[in-house]
């Protein structure tokens, strides 16, 4: 594929338009599948090796990052993670375009962050036709187990996504969102500082 054709495909991807596997094949060198495979085979007592692999896999990665293996990513290189991140087991990044995660984010087991969907009509899914839109997860977000975050979603600072939720639209800052599709249940307020009877 010529450079002009590559630029045209990238422009369509950036607009959230449908593109195919063949059209996007030139991006294959950005995949970090071997490094992800190696990371998932590391022992708990190899923090330095894990850190080096995370730096090789992700587009950027902050300090004090914990990501429990196994995890999965289509590319890896299109994921950007801030400081003080905790990701539990079976985290999946479908990162055909960028996933940006802020500081202090916590993600529970078996969560999927997918930037990519497929057209409803089967004729448009030929050659794995798809569309992609970036995901943004702002600082201090907590995402519960088995949640799915869909293309184009932004989750606002400090928000909580309930376990099993499917997040198909933006979530404002400091909100609890639950359900399928996820809807804002309530705001997070200073009253929540008193929950679980913990002393701060």
| Active site members | 118
Structure tokens at 68: 């429990």
- What letter does residue 83 receive in the DSSP assignment? S
Q: Which residue has the tokens 């293996």?
A: 69
**DSSP β-bridge partners for residue 114:** 94
Structure tokens at 81: 């993670």
The answer to whether the CB of 75 falls within 8 A of the CB of 97 is no
**DSSP β-bridge partners for residue 187:** 175
Contact partners, residue 102, CB within 8 Å, separation at least 6: 82, 137, 138, 139, 140, 141, 157
Q: Please state, in angstroms and rounded to a whole number, the distance separating the CA atoms of residues 186 and 190.
A: 13
**H-run or E-run covering 79:** strand 79-81
* CB-side neighbour CA atoms (13 Å) of 123: 0
- Grouping H, G, I as helix, E, B as strand and the rest as coil, residue 112 is strand
């Amino acid at each position: 594929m010529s450079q002009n054709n590559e630029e045209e495909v990238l422009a369509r991807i950036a607009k959230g338009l449908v593109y195919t596997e063949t059209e996007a094949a030139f991006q294959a060198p950005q995949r970090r599948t071997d490094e992800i495979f190696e990371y998932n085979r590391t022992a708990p007592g190899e923090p330095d090796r894990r850190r080096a692999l995370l730096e090789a896999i992700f587009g950027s990665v902050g300090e004090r990052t914990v990501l429990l293996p196994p995890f999965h990513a289509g590319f890896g290189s299109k994921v950007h993670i801030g400081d003080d991140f905790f990701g539990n087991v079976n985290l999946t990044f479908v990162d055909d375009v960028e996933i940006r995660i802020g500081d202090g984010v916590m993600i529970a087991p078996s969560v999927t962050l997918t930037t990519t969907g497929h057209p409803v009509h089967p004729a448009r899914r030929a050659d794995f036709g798809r569309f992609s839109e970036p995901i943004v997860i702002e600082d201090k977000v907590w995402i519960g187990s088995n949640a799915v975050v869909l293309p184009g979603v932004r989750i606002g600072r400090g928000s909580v996504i309930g376990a099993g939720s499917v997040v198909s639209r933006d979530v404002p800052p400091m909100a609890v969102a639950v359900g399928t599709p996820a809807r804002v249940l309530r705001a997070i307020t200073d009253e929540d500082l008193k929950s679980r009877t913990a002393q701060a």
